[in-house]
Amino acid sequence: MTLSEEEVAGELGPAMAAPPSRGRVLARRFLASRQGRAGAAVLALMFALAFAGPLFSPWSPADKDFTAFLAPPSPRHWFGTLQTGADVYAVTLCGLRRSLIVGLLAALVSTALAALAGAFAGYFGGWTDRVLGWAADLLLALPAFLVLAIMSPLFGAGQWPLFVIVLALFLWMVTAKIVRGMTISLRQREFVRAARYLGVPPVKIIFSHVLPNLSSLLIVDATVNVSAAILAETSLSYFGLGIQPPDVSLGTVIADGSRTAIYAPWTFWFAAGLLVVTVLAVNLAGDALRDAFDPAAKGPR
């Protein structure tokens, strides 16, 4: 089945050169900003340090050097030692690793939760919307700190994944409300209506039309959530409500170090410094990513 010359003659204009793919444009825009480059580089460095760093040190976090208690940094102990004789370098990197993982996972889970709850609430409306809205409002009204404090005994002995989930549970609500609003407006867009009238099932429309078109928002939100989750995790762990011993995180390291910070600053400053640098790098990268996604934002085009 083809049409005659005349009908085809419509507008087969000269073939346009295929423009670069969206992913490549984003990468170029992202890397064009100095913030983005710096943030990404520092973040990569942190990951390398957290995962490969311990390989270069003879000490493990559990080891104790009974010849050096609270010793300042030296060639033998690069970051010094704690009161117990534990190597600060080994303990800090172990904490950094845990903090990074918890932060990333919590951010991912909370953004996924926000995307699903928001998109379903916005797309289906009615009772789905009401129930999800109530859940979000309830969680917004509950004092997260209190709930986590009550639940903290459950997080001990390798139960940190549960902590990740609980942490994520308190991070998704605001984004979900934004996603819901955007879904409602997307729902009215003609390509979503077209898919509906084509007979595409609703859940499939959400996954193939609604969420991909919100991906910029979701990616930026996830990045911002990483720093929020890392900060939340460290502050909770600092108060002894998050990661429980024998697990360590930057928060517990800082809490331990803060007692001796005045006269043995190395027990505190390395962990605190890494935390600040990490969060800063995540924020820089997140800003650059948002600019890359939003062509209207200033910066190189």
Q: Residues interacting with other proteins, by CB under 8 A?
A: 1-4, 6-16, 18-19, 22, 189-191, 193-195, 197-201, 204, 208-209, 212-213
Rg of the chain taking only CA atoms, in angstroms: 25
Q: How distant, in Å, are the alpha carbons of 41, 86, 87, 211 from that of 48?
A: 10, 22, 19, 32
125 sits in the region (left: phi over 0; alpha: psi -120 to 50; else beta) called left
Angle between helices 215-238 and 173-188 (to 10 degrees): 170
Q: Which residue, 19 or 143, has its beta carbon nearer to other proteins?
A: 19
DSSP class of residue 282? H
Distance between CA 5 and CA 64 in Å, rounded?
85
DSSP state of 87: B
Residue 192 or 255: which CB sits closer to other proteins?
192
Smaller CB separation from other proteins, 16 or 55? 16
Ramachandran class of 184: left when φ > 0, alpha when ψ lies in -120 to 50, beta otherwise: alpha
Q: Residue 143 or 199: which CB sits closer to other proteins?
A: 199
Query: Least distance in Å: CB of 7 to other proteins?
Result: 5
- Closest approach, Cβ 275 to other proteins, in A, equals 37
Nearer to other proteins, 13 or 143 (CB): 13
CB of 190 to other proteins, least distance (A): 4
The distance of closest approach from Cβ of residue 208 to other proteins in the complex, given in angstroms and rounded to an integer, is 8
CB of 209 vs other proteins, minimal distance in Å: 5
